[in-house]
Chains A and B, each alone.
Chain A
Amino acid sequence: MYWYKSWCETRTVILLGIAAIAVACIFIVFNQQTMRDNASEPTTYVALIWKAVYDTFGFDLFFILSVVLGSGGLLQEKTHGTAGFTLALPVSRRRILFTRAIVGYCGVLALALTPAIVLPLGSRFIDQHYSAAQALSFSLLWACCGSIFYAYTFLLAHLTEGEYSAILAAVPSLMAYRFLMAILWLTHFPTLNIFGIVNGEDMPFFNESTYLLVGPMPWLALIVMLFIASLFVFLAVRRMEPMDF
């Protein structure tokens, strides 16, 4: 039943997030001609989808939602005054946190998968084509990179008290990381740039003229990301286990 509680805590963000990403994708698909006409240079349908969904608006939405999903947990419960009730249940803190982390991450996965369902289906309605395999590959990138945004916020949520303190710490620090990655000498290490991997920009597995993922996926980098995300969650658990409430 602890899964149920975690679901209750996250379902609003997950369901509204899925709806928001789906609406954003549908809006882009159905207004693709207008957007392409107003573009500064000739743009293909596939390029527009990449720019609007995977590079800017869609990704920004996904990024914010991943951070918001990561902001829950025991310290937030302390702020809400429910930690006493939770900790009096015969459930270990480890289980409480892992359950919350897994349910939240399932939400991130659902958000990442939304464009992979909406874009190929929506494209059919306007006689365009967007490959389901392409969309699924981008979802994989979102799911792995999103795990870092999510788990990083989850860790911050267990380091700082306050309703929004984790979000307020995570967004600027991740933005600072993004700008740091644009510093000249760090650009030589593209695999360190999560914001580059997530949409393929400047990556060997992405063709910048067709806007398609072409080469083999960066499996090692993706596995390392999942490992780091797991480490963040583990650190959050380690921080909570001895904590006084």
Chain B
Amino acid sequence: MSLERIIQTEELTKHYGAFKAVQQLNCSVRSGRITGFLGRNGAGKSSTIKMLLGMTKPTSGHGTVLGHRIDDPKESLEIRRRIAYVGEDKGLYGYMTVKQLICFTRSFYTDWRPEIEKRLLEHHRLPLDRKVKALSKGMRTKLALLLALSRSPALLILDEPTEGLDPFSIEELLQTLEGAPHEGTTVFFSSHQLGEVERIADDILMIDQGRSVLDMPLEQIRENYRRVIFRFAGNPPAFPSNFDGIERIRMNGHQVTILASGNIEAIAQLGRERNAVDIDVAPLDLREIFLETVQEQEHLGQREHHDVLV
């Protein structure tokens, strides 16, 4: 089955009591692409992934993975049959040996590829007869990745996959992930390592406080996002915050800094009209966009909280 949107959510919401982990999340992940799933700790990334896998039930909203509904237990089984997942904690059965765990996992899937298993075993130098509980954290991560990568899943979901890995293994993993779409596997991975995300991701999905704050191809982000700095001789004038393309305005002395997601020329014109003595337009990397976007959301959140209290 060929689907353009391999993951799709509509108003997906998850509340744990009073805590709103995910709020009306609308997102889509395109087939045959690598999507970086970004957000701060507690932003709702793991909760979203758990809902996609059927580990937690959405409070409201809908979602599909590979065309199957995530809230239907039978369809969730089909989803899990066709995807591979490596969780944040890489929790594996400590009482099994590496060999036993590989045999155990292999038995659930028809798309297992022994040649990849063999190659990864040799590459990672995983001791087959050692109990999983005796492995180091890095080795456990390598084993968890081996179990996910030794197949040809339609979708690979990874939650912080490089955590605990040495630089050499990170490089290998990134290369493997880069090649996955050519083998028909879509990759959806969360990471705090923005450099890694920027290197391999085709699309970026950024969430904060459970809401989607950015859902765009990385190429488009690179093309569109700019930091526009205006310097004024005296006190800076006001700028319209609802102007098309303006994401955030920050004033500092005689300087106004605007985070723009497009419409750059028109924004620059706003500065000229306000007699800016200097206009500087600079591209942004993903880290800067992430920090700016998240700070903006925090600011909005605090303002909402303040309004509610008032």
Q: Which residues of A contact B (CB under 8 A)?
A: 1, 4-5, 8-9, 80-85, 87-93, 241-242, 244-245
Contact = CB atoms under 8 A, between A and B. Distances in A.
Interface stretch (B100-108, B223-231, B288-296): B100-108
Contact of B54 (A82, A83, A87): A87
B93 A85 contact: yes
A82 B80 contact: no
B285 to A, nearest CB: 32
B89 interface: yes
Contacts of A84: 50, 55, 87-89, 91
Given A4-B104, A88-B85, A92-B73, A244 B57 contact: yes
A244 B55 contact: yes
Interface string B170-213: 00000000000000000000000000000000000000000000
A49 to B, nearest CB: 36
B56 A245 contact: yes
Nearest to A94: B73
A5 B87 contact: no
A153 B80 CA distance: 30
B239 interface: no
B205 to A, nearest CB: 20
A91 B104 contact: no
B274 interface: no
Contacts of A242: 57
Contacts, number: 66
B135 interface: no
Nearest to B85: A88
Contacts of A90: 77-78, 80-81, 108-109
A8 B93 contact: yes
Nearest to A88: B85
Tell me which of A8, A80, A81, A84 has the highest count of chain B C-beta atoms within 10 A of its own C-beta.
Answer: A84
A1 B108 contact: yes
Identify the 9 closest CB pairs spanning chains A and B, nearest first: A81-B91, A1-B107, A244-B56, A84-B87, A90-B81, A82-B91, A90-B80, A88-B85, A245-B55
B16 interface: yes
Contacts of B16: 244
A94 to B, nearest CB: 9
15 contacts: A1-B107, A5-B93, A5-B104, A80-B91, A82-B93, A82-B94, A84-B88, A88-B85, A88-B87, A90-B81, A91-B77, A92-B77, A244-B50, A244-B57, A245-B55
A91 B108 contact: yes
Interface in B42-61: 50, 53-57
A82 B104 CA distance: 14
A8 B94 CA distance: 10
B92 interface: yes
B95 interface: yes
B146 to A, nearest CB: 13
Interface string B74-90: 00011011000101110
A244 to B, nearest CB: 4
A245 B85 CA distance: 15
Contacts of A4: 104
A48 to B, nearest CB: 39
Given A87-B54, A242-B57, A9 B95 contact: yes
A23 to B, nearest CB: 24
Interface in B90-134: 91-96, 100, 103-105, 107-109
A1 B93 CA distance: 14
Contacts of B88: 84
B48 to A, nearest CB: 13
Nearest to A89: B108
Given A84-B55, A84-B87, A244-B55, 7 more contacts: A1-B108, A5-B96, A83-B91, A84-B50, A88-B53, A88-B85, A244-B56
Contacts of A80: 91, 94
A242 B72 CA distance: 11
A8 B100 contact: yes
Nearest to A244: B56
A4 B108 CA distance: 12
Contacts of A87: 53-55
Contacts of A91: 77, 108
A92 B94 CA distance: 22
Contacts of B96: 5, 8
A221 to B, nearest CB: 36
Contacts of A92: 73, 77
A82 B92 contact: yes
Contacts of B94: 80, 82
A241 to B, nearest CB: 7
B26 to A, nearest CB: 22
A7 to B, nearest CB: 11
Nearest to B51: A244
